[in-house]
Structure 1
Amino acid sequence: MKFRPFAAAAAVLAAALALTACSGSAGNAGNPGGSASGASLTVGSLVNINSFDPAQAHLGHQMPIYQAAYDTLLLREPDGTLSPMLATKWEYNADNTVLTLTLRSDVTFSDGTKFDAEAAKANLDHFKTANGPDANQAKSIASVDVAGADSVKITLSAADPAFTYYLSQALGFMGSPKALGSDAIKTDPVGSGPYIMDKAGSVNGSQFTFTKNPKYWNKSLQKYDKVTFKVLTDTTARVNAIVSGQVDAVLLDPTTMAQADKSGLKKISYPVDWQGLLLFDRGGASAPELKDVRVRQAINYALDRKTMLKELMKGEGEVTAQVFGKTTDAYIADLDSAYSYDKAKAKSLLAEAGYADGFTLNVPLLPTTESIMAMVKQQLGEVGITVNLASVPQANYVTDIISAKFPVAWFSIFQGEPWVAIRQMITTDAAYNPFKTTSPELQADIDAVQTGGDKAGELAQKVNQYVVDQAWFAPFYRVNQLFYTNSKKVTVVPQVQQAVPNLYNYSPAS
Structure 2
Amino acid sequence: MLLPARPSAWQSTTIPGAAMPMTNKRRLSVLAAAAVAVLALSACTGQDGSSGGGDDQGPRTLKLGVSSELLSYDPVDLNGGGEGNLLWMPVYDRLLTITPDNGLEPGLATEWAFDDSFSVLTLELRDGVTFSDGAPFTAETVKANIENLKASSSTEAGIVAPIEEVVPVDENTVEFHLASYDPTLLYQLGLAAGVMASPEALGTEEIKLNPVGSGPYTLDDQGSVRGSELIYVKNDEHWNSDAYPYETLVFKTYQDITARLNAAKSGEVDGAPITSAAAAEAEAAGLTITNTPAGWLGLGLFDRAGQIAPELADVRVRQAINYAFDKQAILENVEQGYGYATSQTFAEGQPGYDPELDNRYEYDPEKARELLAEAGYPDGFDLTIPDLPHMAAYTPIIADQLKDVGINVTIKPVAPTDTLAEMFGGQNAAFAMEFGGTSIGQITALSTQSVWNIFKSTDEELSQLVSVAYKATEEDEQDKTYREVNRWVVDNAWFAPWYMKDSIFVTSSEVTVEPWVTNVTPLISSFAPAK
Letter in 1 for 2:469: V
Match of 1:268 among 290, 300, 306: 290
SS in 2 for 1:310: helix
Equivalent residue for 1:55?
76
Query: Are residue 413 (structure 1) and residue 435 (structure 2) matched?
Result: yes
Q: CA deviation at 1:362?
A: 1.1
Equivalent residue for 2:443?
422
Q: CA deviation at 1:214?
A: 4.5
Matches within 5 A, 1:363-442: 363-367=385-389, 369-418=391-440, 420-423=441-444, 425-442=445-462
For the Cα contact (< 8 Å) 2:80–2:188, is it kept in 1?
A: no
Equivalent residue for 1:362?
384
Equivalent residue for 1:150?
172
Q: Distance in 2 between matches of 1:345 and 1:378?
A: 17
Q: Distance in 1 between matches of 2:387 and 2:227?
A: 28
Q: CA deviation at 1:235?
A: 2.2
For the Cα contact (< 8 Å) 1:18–1:96, is it kept in 2?
A: no
Query: Are residue 507 (structure 1) and residue 528 (structure 2) matched?
Result: yes
Q: Distance in 2 between matches of 1:119 and 1:48?
A: 27
Letter in 2 for 1:475: P
Relative to structure 1, is the Cα distance of residues 166 and 371 closer, same or farther in structure 2, using a 3 angstrom cutoff? closer
Equivalent residue for 1:231?
253
Matches within 5 A, 1:104-119: 104-119=126-141
Query: Are residue 91 (structure 1) and residue 75 (structure 2) matched?
Result: no
Q: CA deviation at 1:204?
A: 4.3
Q: Distance in 1 between matches of 2:228 and 2:117?
A: 47
SS in 2 for 1:112: coil
Q: CA deviation at 1:487?
A: 1.9
Q: Distance in 1 between matches of 2:113 and 2:392?
A: 49
Equivalent residue for 1:324?
346
For the Cα contact (< 8 Å) 1:21–1:91, is it kept in 2?
A: no
Q: Distance in 2 between matches of 1:55 and 1:458?
A: 36
Relative to structure 1, is the Cα distance of residues 233 and 156 closer, same or farther in structure 2, using a 3 angstrom cutoff? farther
For the Cα contact (< 8 Å) 1:116–1:149, is it kept in 2?
A: yes
Equivalent residue for 1:125?
147
CA deviations 1:394-447 (Å, max 9, x no partner) are 4432342122221111111113132x2222x21111111111100111112221
Q: CA deviation at 1:179?
A: 0.6
Equivalent residue for 2:3?
19
Letter in 1 for 2:462: L
Q: CA deviation at 1:118?
A: 0.6
Equivalent residue for 2:369?
347
Q: Distance in 1 between matches of 2:370 and 2:439?
A: 36
Q: CA deviation at 1:374?
A: 2.1
Match of 1:495 among 507, 510, 516: 516
Letter in 1 for 2:366: A
Relative to structure 1, is the Cα distance of residues 327 and 262 closer, same or farther in structure 2, using a 3 angstrom cutoff? same
Q: Distance in 2 between matches of 1:189 and 1:38?
A: 26
Unmatched 5+ stretches in structure 2: 7-56
Q: Distance in 1 between matches of 2:130 and 2:376?
A: 68
TM-score (norm 2): 0.86
Moved more, 194-203 or 438-447: 194-203
Equivalent residue for 1:453?
473
Q: CA deviation at 1:348?
A: 1.2
For the Cα contact (< 8 Å) 1:103–1:116, is it kept in 2?
A: yes
Letter in 1 for 2:453: N
Equivalent residue for 2:66?
45
TM-score (norm 1): 0.89
CA deviations 1:256-292 (Å, max 9, x no partner) are 1121111101111111211001001111122121111
Q: Percent identity?
A: 38
Unmatched 5+ stretches in structure 1: 1-16, 23-35
Q: Distance in 1 between matches of 2:105 and 2:262?
A: 37
Letter in 2 for 1:304: D
SS in 2 for 1:306: helix
CA deviations 1:47-86 (Å, max 9, x no partner) are 4312111122112322121111111111122233322121
Q: Distance in 1 between matches of 2:244 and 2:281?
A: 32
Q: Distance in 2 between matches of 1:46 and 1:76?
A: 23
Q: CA deviation at 1:170?
A: 0.9
Moved more, 225-234 or 323-332: 225-234
Q: CA deviation at 1:484?
A: 0.4
Matches within 5 A, 1:192-207: 192-207=214-229
For the Cα contact (< 8 Å) 1:161–1:456, is it kept in 2?
A: no
SS in 1 for 2:130: coil
For the Cα contact (< 8 Å) 1:159–1:451, is it kept in 2?
A: no
For the Cα contact (< 8 Å) 1:21–1:89, is it kept in 2?
A: no
SS in 2 for 1:256: helix
Q: Distance in 2 between matches of 1:396 and 1:107?
A: 45
Letter in 2 for 1:442: L
Letter in 2 for 1:245: G
Q: Distance in 1 between matches of 2:342 and 2:227?
A: 37
SS in 2 for 1:189: coil
Q: Distance in 1 between matches of 2:156 and 2:366?
A: 44
Relative to structure 1, is the Cα distance of residues 149 and 473 closer, same or farther in structure 2, using a 3 angstrom cutoff? same
Q: Distance in 2 between matches of 1:467 and 1:218?
A: 41
Equivalent residue for 1:31?
none
SS in 2 for 1:200: coil
Q: CA deviation at 1:111?
A: 0.8
